[in-house]
Amino acid sequence: MAIRMMQFSAFYFVIGVLMGMGMSMAENYELTPVHVHLNLLGWVSMALGGILYHLFPQAAESRLGKWHFWLHVIGIPLMMVGLAVVILMGDAAEAFGIVIPVGGTLIVNGLGYLLIFGGTQRSLEIRS
């Protein structure tokens, strides 16, 4: 799972950076929030998760770790597509806006599990 997260992270890095370059070249910064979160939730947070799960393999095996992985993986495309559609289509896509909080909530939940596991893991280590 750690490796899989790092692969996703590298994928989002490429997309996020290409998007940043595209925005600079087009001098159109409308989609900055998508660029920001592709980089910070896709590249940075996924890479951190991958490193943590590599350092603490027990975390990757835990149920919380698996929930985190899947919520993070599913949440990012939902949140990014939702953000992009709402920014580009404005009022016409208002109803679609629900996808953003749904995706965001999945990611926040997932990251929460990662943090909860971090605490559990620490207490395991202290005990041993």
Q: Nearest residue by C-beta to ligand HEM?
A: 20
Closer by beta carbon to ligand HEM, 14 or else 124: 14
| Site size for ligand HEM (CB under 6 A) | 21
Instruction: Give the span between the Cα atoms of 128 and 115, in whole angstroms.
Output: 20
Choosing from 9, 31, 34, 39, the residue that interacts with ligand HEM (CB under 6 A) is 39
Query: Residue 60 to residues 3, 4, 5, 69, 100: CA-CA distances in angstroms?
Result: 11, 11, 11, 9, 27
Closer by beta carbon to ligand HEM, 7 or else 58: 7
Smallest distance, Å, CB 78 to ligand HEM? Answer: 10
Angle formed at CA 22 by CA 20 and CA 25, multiple of 5 degrees: 110
Here's the x/- map for ligand HEM, 42-61, by CB under 6 A: it reads as -xxx----------------
Whether the Cβ atoms of residue 1 and residue 60 lie closer than 8 Å to each other: yes
Choosing from 69, 104, 114, 121, the residue that interacts with ligand HEM (CB under 6 A) is 104
| Ramachandran class of 90: left when φ > 0, alpha when ψ lies in -120 to 50, beta otherwise | left
Smallest distance, Å, CB 62 to ligand HEM? Answer: 21
> Helical H runs in the chain?
2-26, 32-37, 45-55, 57-61, 63-89, 99-127
| Residues that bind ligand HEM in the complex, under the rule CB under 6 A | 16-17, 20-21, 23-24, 29, 32-33, 35-37, 39-41, 43-45, 104, 107-108
